[in-house]
Structure 1
Amino acid sequence: MPIVQIQMMAGRPPEKVKKLIERVTDTVAEELGSPKERIRVLVTEIPKTHWGIGGIAASDREDR
């Protein structure tokens, strides 16, 4: 049973996350020949206050 873990900053619309899960599942099924029912995709959304880039919280960066 393939398990795919995705960590990303929070803030995307739920529809985008659902589409990501769908497309990752399709890709894994195609590439590994695994039935979709056996594929698990875990999406963890991290608050920008808990995501550091270059020593600065993403919530404090100007280039976000």
Structure 2
Amino acid sequence: MSIFIILQGRETSQKKALIKGTTDVVSDSLGVEKERVRVLIHEIPSAGGVSMAEE
């Protein structure tokens, strides 16, 4: 499992790209099926309680 902690406000397309890229690299590097790879994204507020979308 790959775990990423990112600031809130990223576009859905950016998170999908992160998931796909991570899945591809882990699958290729470890020789496992892509269906067995799990990616967890935990979003946290940025400093001052303002999301990236609001900055």
TM-score by length of 1: 0.71
Give distance in 1, aligned partners of 2:48 and 2:24.
33
Gaps in structure 2 of 5+ consecutive residues: 50-54
> Which structure shows the bigger proportion of residues in helix conformation?
2
Superposition CA RMSD, Å: 1.6
**Counterpart AA for 2:28:** E
Give distance in 1, aligned partners of 2:31 and 2:5.
24
Q: In the alignment, which of 22, 42, 45 is matched to residue 44 of structure 1?
A: 42
| Superposition map of 1:17-28 within 5 A | 17-28=15-26
Gaps in structure 1 of 5+ consecutive residues: 49-57
Partner of 1:32: 30
How many residue pairs get matched? 50
TM-score by length of 2: 0.82
Q: Which runs of structure 1 show a deviation greater than 4 angstroms over 4 or more consecutive aligned residues? A: none
Instruction: Tell me the SS of whatever aligns to 1:8.
Output: strand
| Greater relative contact order (CA < 8 Å, ≥ 6 in sequence) | 2
Partner of 1:53: none
